[in-house]
Amino acid sequence: MKNAYAKVKALVYGISVVAIISNCKRYIGNLTNNTNFTLDPTPAEAATKLGELESAEGRMRSGDRTAKPDRDQALEWMQRTMSTWVDLINGQAQGDTTKLETTGMEFVKPRTPRVAPKKVARCAAKNGAQSGLASLSWTGDKEADFFEVQSSNDNLVWNTIEVTRSNRYQIEGLVKKQEYFFRVCGKNKAGVGPYSPVANLVVA
């Protein structure tokens, strides 16, 4: 059973030292005499260092603060070793899920490919507080990283006037009593979404 996206990770970051010790103990047990992988450092070497970590952590929990340097050094070694093992295991397994399962490590969830934003659902234009100003607002898709704002004098030829992360934009320098048209689309690395319905405005 092979899966090109199957990979494992060792849970040794962002959790308590007690949980790291427990996880590493399980990993080392599963990888000792495991013929699927050749590891350096070896599981035997890791077991020795894990014993040092467990001992130092126990001393600290008993109130011996002098054990902290020993604990931190052993912890850093275990974290570095587990990161090295993850690279070796993933490389040697080549996506073979059956082999990866023998490690007891967690599987990495494959990333969901990004998609281009959906159509901007709403675009509204209204006159600003002063003559020649207009305020735009729109409802965009959450997948959009940016919004491209376009304007037109005839609803035929369009010009991009702004690219923004916001869902609001104020336009200055418009001609009084002239009609303008506006539309907005969402953009991200996956592509450009459809433009919104056109909003029109006669400048006050």
Residue 149, helix vs strand vs coil: strand
How far is the C-alpha of 135 from the C-alpha of 124, rounded, in Å?
Answer: 8
pLDDT score of 1: 41
pLDDT score of 111: 77
pLDDT score of 3: 53
Tokens of 127: 């006159």
Q: In sequence order, what are the beta bridge partners of 161? A: none
* Tally of CA atoms within 13 A in the half-sphere of 62 that contains its CB: 9
How far is the C-alpha of 123 from the C-alpha of 4, rounded, in Å?
Answer: 43
How far is the C-alpha of 41 from the C-alpha of 51, rounded, in Å?
Answer: 15
pLDDT score of 87: 97
pLDDT score of 134: 93
Tokens of 94: 């080549």
Distances 166 to 15, 22, 131, 170, 199 between C-alpha atoms, Å: 36, 46, 23, 11, 18
How far is the C-alpha of 147 from the C-alpha of 165, rounded, in Å?
Answer: 6
Overall pTM surpassing 0.85 (yes/no): no
Instruction: Tell me if 143 sits within 8 A of 180, measured CB to CB.
Output: no
pLDDT score of 5: 65
H runs (alpha helix) in 5-67: 17-31, 43-61
pLDDT score of 128: 85
Sequential pLDDT tens for the chain (204 residues): 445 568 999 999 999 999 999 999 999 999 999 999 999 999 999 999 999 999 999 999 999 999 999 999 999 999 999 999 999 999 999 999 999 999 999 999 877 888 999 999 999 999 988 888 999 999 999 999 999 999 999 999 999 999 999 999 999 999 999 999 999 999 999 999 999 999 999 998
